[in-house]
């Protein structure tokens, strides 16, 4: 039976942007804007003690149904041990239901916290197993891949298993995100998508997604055409009309802009010469953040 380490474990997980325009359910980018989870085994068994600070405070449950704790339970089971009583402190900065990967960050944090609390946890559950479990809990891999591995990732599902490939990001690439005040639930955004799209749209989207890999990795001057989407953004406009108006306005001025994940946050790619000008386009009542691409992914630190 595995044993637990003494003292707390800190897990830091970056925000993420999935889809990136044409890369629907496959492309993801980690952003240097991090949630921090501190977990400690308190001894014996029993209900967790959970404190949430920042985003989600007063809104998310503070019992075993909390997403971080649910992910921890799944990870403990994978490692062959009972879930111990734990104390969790969640310092959240990633906005909830805004398309910046808050649920993926919680899932990755929970799994990695559980692995860090088990002596020899990395031997019982390697990185591939962590990613596979996180993608299974989330239901698709495009956000959990960059949350865990960092950087720019291409994720896919094959025969019930999940895979991720990391691609380098050109150092000139910078990001600005515009976060609206009102959330949109992912299930609502997904519910607006049609069962099929015209073949011409699918073909055009495949070409843009392939171009986007080249643009992000070595030719950022191609980001504007590479981020054009034909599969999902326009169908989701009824749920986030202000976001699509901002995307359209930015793109009309030559700025590579997309809906982040399922929205409603808007992400724009910039460089050092255009960042300030793009930031100034923030709509009234929205938040704007200039973010670096995170290249580390999850970070785990034992404090025992």
- Verify that 36 and 134 share a domain, yes or no: yes
**Best CA proximity match to 106, nearest among 194, 36, 172:** 36
Residue whose entry in the numeric block shows the structure tokens 């997309």: 258
- Verify that 40 and 145 share a domain, yes or no: yes
**Best CA proximity match to 145, nearest among 136, 217, 262, 289:** 136
Which run of H or E residues covers position 80? none
Name the residue range of residue 100's domain.
9-168+294-302
- Verify that 161 and 184 share a domain, yes or no: no
- Verify that 18 and 111 share a domain, yes or no: yes
Average pLDDT value for residue range 35-53: 91
- Verify that 187 and 270 share a domain, yes or no: yes
Q: Which CATH number do you get for residue 42?
A: 3.30.230.10
Query: What is the Rg, in whole angstroms, of the alpha carbon atoms belonging to the chain?
Result: 19
- Verify that 137 and 192 share a domain, yes or no: no
Digit-coded pLDDT (tens) for 199-257: 999 999 999 999 999 999 999 999 999 999 999 999 999 999 999 999 999 999 999 99
Digit-coded pLDDT (tens) for 85-142: 999 999 999 999 999 999 999 999 999 999 999 999 999 999 999 999 999 999 989 9
- Verify that 70 and 211 share a domain, yes or no: no
- Verify that 226 and 109 share a domain, yes or no: no
Q: Give the residue ranges of the annotated binding site for ATP.
A: 95-105
- Verify that 147 and 184 share a domain, yes or no: no
Q: Confirm whether 139 is domain-assigned.
A: yes
- Verify that 73 and 186 share a domain, yes or no: no
Q: Other CB atoms closer than 10 Å to residue 82's CB: what's the count? A: 10
- Going across the sheet that includes 174-179, the strands are 257-259, 266-270, 174-179, 287-291
**Best CA proximity match to 103, nearest among 76, 140, 129:** 140
Q: Give the residue ranges of the annotated binding site.
A: 95-105
End-to-end CA distance of the chain: 21
pTM of the predicted model as reported, rounded to 2 decimal places: 0.95
- What is the number of structural domains in the chain? 2
Q: Which CATH number do you get for residue 216?
A: 3.30.70.890
């Amino acid at each position: 039976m595995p044993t637990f380490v003494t003292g707390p474990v800190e897990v830091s997980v970056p925000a993420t942007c999935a889809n990136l325009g044409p890369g629907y359910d496959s492309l993801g980018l980690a952003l240097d804007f991090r949630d921090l989870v501190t977990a400690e085994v308190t001894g014996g068994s029993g209900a967790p003690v959970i404190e949430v600070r920042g985003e989600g405070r007063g809104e998310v449950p503070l019992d075993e149904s909390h997403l971080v704790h649910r992910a921890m339970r799944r990870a403990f089971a994978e490692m062959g041990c009972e879930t111990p009583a734990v104390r969790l402190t969640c310092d959240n900065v990633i906005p909830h239901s805004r398309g910046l990967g808050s649920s993926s960050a919680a899932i990755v944090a929970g799994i990695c916290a559980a692995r860090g609390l088990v002596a020899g946890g990395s031997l019982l559950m390697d990185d591939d197993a962590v990613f596979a479990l996180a993608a299974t809990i989330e239901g698709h891999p495009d956000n959990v891949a960059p949350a865990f591995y960092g950087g720019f990732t291409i994720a896919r599902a094959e025969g019930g298993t999940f895979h991720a490939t990391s691609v380098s990001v050109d150092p000139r690439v910078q990001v600005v995100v515009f976060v609206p005040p009102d959330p949109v639930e992912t299930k609502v955004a997904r519910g607006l998508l049609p069962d099929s799209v015209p073949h011409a749209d699918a073909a055009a989207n495949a070409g843009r997604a392939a171009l986007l890999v080249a643009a992000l990795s070595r030719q950022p001057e191609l980001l504007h055409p590479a981020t054009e989407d034909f599969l999902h953004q326009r169908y989701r406009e009824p749920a986030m009309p202000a976001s699509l108006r901002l995307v359209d306005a930015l793109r009309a001025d030559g700025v590579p802009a997309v809906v982040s994940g399922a929205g409603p946050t808007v992400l724009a790619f910039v460089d050092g010469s255009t960042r300030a000008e793009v930031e100034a386009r923030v709509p009234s009542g929205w938040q704007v953040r200039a973010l670096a691409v995170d290249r580390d992914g999850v970070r785990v630190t034992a404090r025992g």
